[in-house]
Amino acid sequence: MSQPQQVQVTDLDVSQLADVRRQLDEELNHLTNSFAQLKQAQAKFKACIENVAEVKPANKGKTILVPLTNSLYVPGTLSDPEHVIVDVGTGYFVQKTRDQALKHYSAKVEYIRTNLETLEDTISKKRDNMNYLVNVMQSKLQQQQQTAS
């Protein structure tokens, strides 16, 4: 198998640099969108932790509002405050104790946190690459203007 060739950015002409810049822009947009989605997911899991913490034995038999979606709640009666139903993904739900549910959601929050850190590093490196590329493009454009004068 042949190794991919490495090309110095400074060896590219302005139109090739513009193509590389477009590609970097697309990658940065995708990465920042992914970052935002992960932040939203992390916030949802943190909200789940808070919700599970609200289920207490003292509330047994009381009427509560059960969330079906983010904006739809239905009234229900808390019959078993020691167990909750946990969404484990792709439409599957399992019954867990409150402690198990808290551990489950805490693990999810931690997993997303580590992914966010990795993604943040990648975004930072891509931004550095973009800044370097823009500087090279500006330098090449100035050289073209000076030779044209």
pTM of the model: 0.79
The per-residue pLDDT for range 99-135, each reduced to its tens digit, is 999 999 999 999 999 999 999 999 999 999 999 999 9
**Is 146 among the domain residues?**
no
**Is 92 among the domain residues?**
yes
What average pLDDT does the segment 47-76 reach?
A: 88
**Is 122 among the domain residues?**
yes
Give the pLDDT of residue 1. 60
The per-residue pLDDT for range 134-148, each reduced to its tens digit, is 999 999 888 888 887
Selection from 114, 102, 97, 87 nearest residue 46 by Cα: 102
58: domain range?
15-133
**Is 31 among the domain residues?**
yes
What average pLDDT does the segment 42-53 reach?
A: 93
**Is 4 among the domain residues?**
no
**Is 54 among the domain residues?**
yes
50-53-59 Cα angle (round to 5): 125
What average pLDDT does the segment 1-28 reach?
A: 84
How far apart CA 38 and CA 106 sit, in angstroms, is 15
What average pLDDT does the segment 38-51 reach?
A: 94
> Using 50, 70 and 90 to split pLDDT, how confident is the model at 24?
very high
What average pLDDT does the segment 62-69 reach?
A: 84
106 vs 54, residue with greater confidence: 106
As for how many domains the chain has, the answer is 1
**Is 45 among the domain residues?**
yes
Phi, psi values for residue 13, rounded to 5°: -85, 175
Question: For the domain that residue 83 is a member of, what is the CATH number?
Answer: 1.10.287.370
**Is 88 among the domain residues?**
yes
Which percentage of the chain shows pLDDT scores above 90?
64
User: Among the residues of the chain, which ranges form H helices?
Assistant: 14-54, 98-148
